Structure 1
Amino acid sequence: MITDMQLVFLILIITTICFLVPRFRADLVAVNALLALLLTGLITVPEAFAGFSNSVVIMVAALFIVGEGVFQSGLAQKAGDLLVKKTGNSEWKLTIFMLILVAFLSGFISNTGTVAILLPIVVSLCRQMHLHPGKLLIPMAFASSMGGALTLIGTAPNLIASQSLHDAGYGALTFFAFTPIGLTMLAVGILYLWFFGRKMLDKPLENKTGTAEKFDAAELVEQYGVSDNIFAVKTPKESKLIGKMIKQLHLPSTYNVTLLEVIKKETSSLLRLKGRRQPQRITVDPSYVVEAGDIFLIYGQEEVLAKLVADTGFILQKGASFQLEESHLAEVILTPQSRLIKQTIKDVNFREKYGLTVLAMKHQFSEPRQFGPDETLLYGDAILVHGKWKDIALLSSEKNDTVVLKSAAEDTNLANQTQRSGIAGIILLGMLLAMVLELVPAVVAIVVAAVLMILTGCVRQTDQAYQSINWQTVILIACMLPMATALENTGGVTFMSEGLIHSLGAIGPIAVLAGLYAITSLFSQFISNTATAVLLFPVAILTAEQMAVSPIPMVMAVAFSSSMAFATPVATPPNAMVMAAGKYTFLDFVRVGIPLQLIIALVAIVLLPLFFPF
């Protein structure tokens, strides 16, 4: 008959396998694992839902709101502007300053949010300096992971590590407990990435991938292969369409085409004096009224064009060269936590929701192509959109779902942004001081900061505060904590601990620490670093207790190892975010990430016993 411990391990193995399957959401897997433990009687009802009242879960949720305030207030954008000012035209300055800036920001706010803010800035700088963006984006993702390990609040495993030690009776970790070793890892990582990593990523510039100093719409259209599907038609003077609104024509449903722009030959007052005529371009919306002489740029298949012309009376402008307006185009990538993932274009209602038309898309490891309304958006997709510049700018502020990678649209000027960024900076600084000086419990300082971000308008709406929380991470932590409880209750933690001691204990505690680091590192390449940390912290503490040594270096080894995941594109959200923008393959991460993984592991194993003796 199967024992309780064997049953827990069976549920854990099935859960781990489900984590590895991209089709299943990690939070949903964790919820089902929690229910399996509860329904099999391995944990009680209070134990099952204790995770939702855990202070770590509250802190993680509140930190997302604090980070949103930093982003919306423009404080993070000012850091990006600083990157532009300081780099000049030097690849050395751009690389080193970028890595330091990304790491610093990730030490205090979400590393995913940091990458979302700086990704389009770095890509733009690469275009200006004629560098392939792939040379810098993997280093940026890796720096965000190393930066997250600098402070107590930089990443969820650090917070869970502190709480685990506190619950075990060893006291919580201080705010900068991770900093000395984290800074050493960061310095070593930057040296590796500059001298070795970027050379392995030194890809030649492509002729059609936006290598010009300025945003080039023609190159972007050519890259996504939509230039052959853009046609120009003219409205004749006697057309029956004159005076009708676009929505009355039902062109998308009847002919599967979209009117993108209208070119009107109007004359501005200034140019009229000189006798020149200046065409005016307007992005077509459903309420636009057709006028005689209008030239429409249509997006659709060539096969339906003849029927469209025959039915509507439009005159096809053969031989004429018309290009889409630069400020109406943008390349967008989906964030790992995007709510659009696994939805179809039809389900998303992209045009109705954002006012933008999706022209083409690119899945990971695939060439750009056109798509149907039933095409499913996937993790890491890049899409080409068309619309008004203010709608593109609005989309660029939706950092939770999308990142606008390339665009000629003007930046939106938020009212009182300078004042708000100053307020956000004061709130963030106050939170850090309260935590460093231990004036109040860490959870209180973080929740107060989150509330102040809302009350002061740094987060402009309460709904946006809720939307900023990555509920997948929150649910994942809350549901995986009972798994650790079940392992402890049934002796599973003791079993794993004794296995480590039996295999490596004779060599010494450093060997056991190295074994813990290696196991954590292996798991964190494929499943959530948070889930990995939650499961292995109890093992680390019990192993140290059975060896009669301090558990602090063991716990910190698990925390560092779970955050330093570089070898696969699915190891961390920043890795996934840069994949499409840098045009990386899976092997790019393996080639650059595994050596860095080993170097950082060696630094951790050597330094941890020195800073935190056994």
Structure 2
Amino acid sequence: MITDMQLVFLILIITTICFLVPRFRADLVAISSLLALLVTGLITVPEAFAGFSNSVVIMVAALFIVGAGVFQSGLAQKAGDVLIKQTKNSEWKLTIFMLILVAGLSGFISNTGTVAILLPIVVSLCRQMNIHPGKLLIPLAFASSMGGALTLIGTAPNLIASQSLQEAGYGELSFFSFTPVGLTMLAVGILFLWFVGRKMLDKPADQKTGTAVKFDAAELVDQYGISDAIFAVTVPTESKVIGLRIKDLHMPSTYKLTALEVIKEEATKLTRLTGRGKSQRVTVEPNYVIEAEDTFLIYGEEESMSAFIADTNLIWQKERTYQLEEGHLAEVILTPQSRLLNQTIKEVQFRAKYGLTVLAMKHQFKQPKKATADETLLYGDSVLVHGKWKDIALLSAEKNDTVVLKSAAEETDLANQTHHTMIAGIILLGMLLAMIFEWIPAVVSIVIAALLMVLTGCIRQTDQAYQSINWQTVILIACMLPMATALENTGGVTFMSEGLIQSLGAIGPLAVLAGLYGLTSLFSQFISNTATAVLLFPVAILTAEQMGVSPLPLVMAVAFSSSMAFATPVATPPNAMVMAAGKYTFLDFVRVGVPLQLLIALVAIFLLPLFFPF
């Protein structure tokens, strides 16, 4: 008959396998695991839902709100502006300053949000300097992970490490407990990425861009393979469609076509004398009234265009080549926590929600293709959209679901946010000082900071505060904590701890630390670093107690190892975010990530006993 401990391990194995399957959401897997433990009687009802009242869960949720205040107030954008000013067309300055900036920001706010802010800035600077973005974006993602390990609040595993030690009777970790080792790892990581990783990722700059700084719409349209899907038609002076609205033509439903822009020729005294007209372009809205001599740029298939021309008798401009207006195009990538994932383009309703039309998309490791209404948006997709510059700018300001990677749209004016930028900075500084000097409990200072971000208008609406919380992470932590409880109750933690001691204990505690670091590192490449940390912190503490040594170095090993996940594109959200923008393959992460993983591991194994003696 199966024992309770064997049943817990069976549920854990099934949970881990489900975590590895991209089709299953991590939070739903965690909830299912929680219910399985509850139904089988391995944990009680209070134990099952204790995670939702856990202070770490509250802190993580509140930190997302604080981060949203930093982003919406323009404070994070100011940091990006500093990057632009300091680089001065120097690849060395761009790389080093970028790595330091992203690491520094990630030590205090979400590394995913930090990468979302800096990603389009770095891509733009690469284009200006004629550098392939792939040379710098993996370093950007890796530096954000290393930066998250610098402070207590930089990443969820650090918060859980502090709480695990406190609950075991060893006291809390201070705000800068992680900093000395974390800074050394960051320095080693930066040196590796500059001297080795950067060269391994070196690719020739796209020859079509040359040294042009200006956004090139034709290049982007060509990259997505839709050059042959843009057609121009002109309305003759006696056309029967004059006076009708665009929506009266039923182009999407009848012909599967979309009118994107209209080119209007403006007549002035000067143009009549010179014979050269001045054209004006506007995006086409459903209620636009068709006028004589309007030229429309239409997106669709050639066969559908032929049918449309036959029915309307419009003039098909096959001899002239028209390009879409640069300010109306943008390349967008989906963030790992985007609410648009696993929805079809039709379900998302880009046109109704954002005022934008999806022209084409690119799935990971696949060639770009024309977008269809039934196409499902997946993890790591990039999308080419068309619309008004102000709608693109609004989309650019929203970092939760999407990141606008390339756009010629006018930048959002942050001048009116100067007041809120200053307030957000003061709130963030006050929160950090309260935590550093331990004036009040950490969870209280973070919740107060989150509330102040809303009350002072740094977050424009209360609903946006709730939307900024990555509920998948919150649910994941709350639901995986009972798994650790079940392992402790059934002897599973003791079993794993004794296994470590029996296999490596004879060599010494340093060997056990190395084994624990390696085990954590392996798990964190494929499943959430938070889930990995929750499961292995109790093992680290019990192993130390059974060996008669301090648990601190083993706990720190688990914390650092769970955050240093570089070997796969699914190891961390920042890794996934740079996938499409850098045009990476899975092998690119393996080639750069595995050596960095091993190097950081050696640094950690050597330094941890020095800073945290056994």
Bin for the TM-score computed over the shorter chain: over 0.9
Distance 1:526 1:287, change over 3 A: same
For 1:107 and 1:221, the matched residues in 2 are separated by 38
The share of aligned pairs that are identical, in percent, is: 82
Structure 2 contact 524–565 (Cα < 8 Å) conserved? yes
Q: Distance in 2 between matches of 1:54 and 1:292?
A: 67
The aligned counterpart of 1:503 is 503
Indicate whether 1:611 and 2:608 are aligned. no
The 1-side partners of 2:504 and 2:268 are apart by 81
- Shift of the 211–360 alpha-carbon distance from structure 1 to 2, 3 Å rule, reads farther
Q: Distance in 1 between matches of 2:467 and 2:128?
A: 34
Alpha-carbon contact 2:11-2:33 (below 8 Å) kept: yes
Q: CA deviation at 1:415?
A: 6.1
Give secondary structure in 1 for the equivalent of 2:49. Answer: helix
Q: Please give the secondary structure, in 1, of the residue aligned with 2:265.
A: strand
Task: Give a deviation string over 1:301-331, Cα, whole Å, max 9, x none.
Answer: 0011111011112111120111100000000
Q: Report the CA distance between 1:242 and its aligned residue.
A: 1.2
Distance 1:499 1:271 in 2: 86
* Inter-partner Cα distance in structure 1 for 2:528 and 2:16: 10
Query: Residue 215 of structure 1 aligns to a residue in which SS?
Result: coil
Counterpart in the other structure of 2:31: 31
The match for 1:402 is: 402
For residues 160-210 of structure 1, the C-alpha deviation after alignment (integer angstroms, 9 at most, x for no partner) is 000110111111100000000000000000000000000000011233468
Structure 2 unpaired stretches of 5+ = none
Moved more, 238-247 or 300-309: 238-247
- Structure 1 Cα separation of the partners of residues 400 and 356 of structure 2: 18
SS at match of 1:307: helix
The 3 A distance-change label for structure 1 pair 286 and 501 is same
Residue of structure 2 in register with 1:48 after alignment: 48
1:273 to partner: Cα distance: 9.6
Pairwise CA distance, 1:237:
1.3
**1:217 and 2:193 matched:** no
Letter in 2 for 1:388: K
SS for the counterpart of 1:347 is helix
Q: 1:77 to 1:269 in 2, by over 3 A?
A: farther
Give the paired residue count.
Answer: 614
Residue 417 of structure 2 is matched in structure 1 by 417
1:203 corresponds in structure 2 to 203
Tell me: CA distance 1:320–1:600, structure 2 relative to 1, closer, same or farther (3 Å).
same
Give the structure-2-normalised TM-score. Answer: 0.99
CA distance in structure 2 between the aligned counterparts of 1:331 and 1:212, rounded to whole angstroms: 18
**Would you say 1:436 and 2:436 are equivalent positions?**
yes
Q: Which residue number in structure 1 is paired with residue 125 of structure 2?
A: 125
Conserved 8 A contact 2:127-2:209? no
Distance in 2 separating the partners of 1:389 and 1:358: 15
- Structure 1 residue 266 corresponds to structure 2 residue 258: no
The separation in 1 between residues aligned to 2:569 and 2:374, in whole angstroms, is 26
SS in 1 for 2:507: coil
Deviation at 1:239, TM superposition (A): 1.4
1:387 aligns with 387
The residue identity in structure 2 corresponding to 1:291 is: E
Look up the match of 2:164: 164
Structure 1, gaps ≥5 residues long = none
Deviations 1:15-46 (A, max 9, x none): 00000000000000000000000000000000
Which position in structure 2 is the counterpart of 1:588?
588
- 2:456 aligns with 456
Equivalent runs, 1:92-491 vs 2, <5 Å: 92-208=92-208, 212-267=212-267, 277-414=277-414, 416-491=416-491
* Aligned residues of 1:209 and 1:220 also touching (Cα < 8 A): no
Do 1:146 and 1:564's aligned partners in 2 also have CA atoms closer than 8 Å?
yes
User: For 1:264, what is the secondary structure of its paired residue?
Assistant: strand
CA shift for structure 1 position 267:
4.2
**Separation of aligned partners in 1, 2:83 and 2:267:** 41
For the residue of structure 1 that corresponds to 2:264, the secondary structure is strand
Contact 2:358–2:371 (Cα < 8 Å) also in 1: no
Q: What is the distance in 1 between the residues matched to 2:452 and 2:210? A: 42
CA distance in 2, matches of 1:270, 1:30: 70
Q: Distance in 1 between matches of 2:267 and 2:472?
A: 54
2:344/2:376 contact within 8 Å kept: yes
CA change 1:430–1:61 in 2 (3 A) is: same
CA distance in 2, matches of 1:163, 1:192: 33
Deviations along 1:544-579, whole A, 9 cap, x unmatched? 111111111110100000000000000000000001
Match of 1:599 in 2: 599
Note the aligned Cα RMSD (angstroms).
Answer: 1.3
**Cα separation, partners in 2 of 1:233 and 1:478, compared to 1, 3 Å:** same
Q: Decide whether aligned partners of structure 1 residues 174 and 269 sit closer, same or farther in structure 2, where only a CA change above 3 A counts.
A: farther
Q: Could you tell me the TM-score, scaled by structure 1's length?
A: 0.99
